[in-house]
């Protein structure tokens, strides 16, 4: 099964514990009919159970599921969808979304500095992630920030673009 972005969102919400339909909608800011459609699909895929009015994840009949969604090809498609939305928001909104892209020659010293800054960001976010697990059970999922960074040699992108 290949997860769509919105399906991932619902999965993350249910990953926080069992929830009723309206709570799921509130937590992830997704419209009711969309949530219902996704839950229906998850139900058919045997990924969730319904306990009275609450829905909860249950992978006991689909042990392959987590492995499947972690496959490189599936992750790639999910990322492409997310980045596509991000770029749409960035292009259509003024100043609300931060995005930076530079093409520069980086000297040896600057490269080390860059690595240092990036590893500091990484550390900061890992700490935030760890504290999220214990302190943010009441916060809405949709209030999370999405942060990404990375760099690569221009040549790699050129080679990729040249692939037939």
Q: Which C-beta is closer to another protein: that of 34 or that of 97?
A: 34
Q: Is 37 in the site for another protein (CB under 8 A)?
A: yes
**Cβ pair 13, 27 in contact under 8 A:** yes
Q: Which C-beta is closer to another protein: that of 70 or that of 164?
A: 164
Of 12, 20, 58, 77, the one binding another protein (CB under 8 A) is: 77
Of 12, 20, 34, 65, the one binding another protein (CB under 8 A) is: 34
CB atoms under 10 Å from CB of 48, counted, come to 23
Q: Is 38 in the site for another protein (CB under 8 A)?
A: yes
- Chain-centre distance of CA 8, in angstroms? 7
The tokens describing 35, both together, are 């949530």
Q: Is 33 in the site for another protein (CB under 8 A)?
A: yes
Q: d(Cα 65, Cα 59) in Å, to the nearest integer?
A: 7
Of 22, 36, 88, 112, the one binding another protein (CB under 8 A) is: 36
Helix (H, G, I), strand (E, B) or coil at 52: coil
**Cβ pair 112, 37 in contact under 8 A:** no
Q: Which of residues 94-153 bind another protein (CB under 8 A)?
A: none
Q: Is 52 in the site for another protein (CB under 8 A)?
A: no
CB atoms under 10 Å from CB of 147, counted, come to 10
Interface segment toward another protein; rule CB under 8 A; list 33-41, 63-71, 130-138, 150-158: 33-41
CB atoms under 10 Å from CB of 137, counted, come to 9
The tokens describing 59, both together, are 């992978």
Q: How many residues bind another protein (CB under 8 A)?
A: 17
The tokens describing 18, both together, are 């069992």
Q: Which C-beta is closer to another protein: that of 30 or that of 141?
A: 30
Which residues contact another protein (rule: CB under 8 A)?
A: 2, 4-7, 31, 33-34, 36-38, 41, 77, 80-81, 163-164
């Amino acid at each position: 099964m290949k997860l769509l972005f919105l399906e991932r969102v619902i999965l993350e919400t249910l990953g926080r514990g069992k929830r009723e339909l309206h709570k799921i909608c509130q937590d992830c800011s997704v419209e009711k009919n969309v949530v219902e459609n996704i839950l229906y699909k998850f139900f058919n895929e045997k990924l969730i159970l319904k306990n009275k009015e609450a829905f909860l994840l249950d992978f006991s009949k689909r042990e392959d599921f987590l492995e499947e969604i972690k496959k490189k090809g599936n992750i790639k498609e999910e990322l492409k969808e997310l980045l596509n939305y991000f770029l749409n928001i960035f292009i259509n909104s003024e100043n609300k979304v931060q995005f930076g892209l530079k093409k520069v020659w980086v000297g040896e010293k600057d490269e080390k500095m860059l690595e240092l800054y990036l590893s500091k960001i990484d550390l900061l976010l890992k700490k935030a992630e760890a504290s999220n697990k214990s302190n943010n059970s009441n916060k809405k999922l949709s209030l999370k920030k999405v942060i990404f960074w990375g760099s690569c040699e221009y040549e790699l992108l050129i080679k990729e673009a040249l692939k037939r």
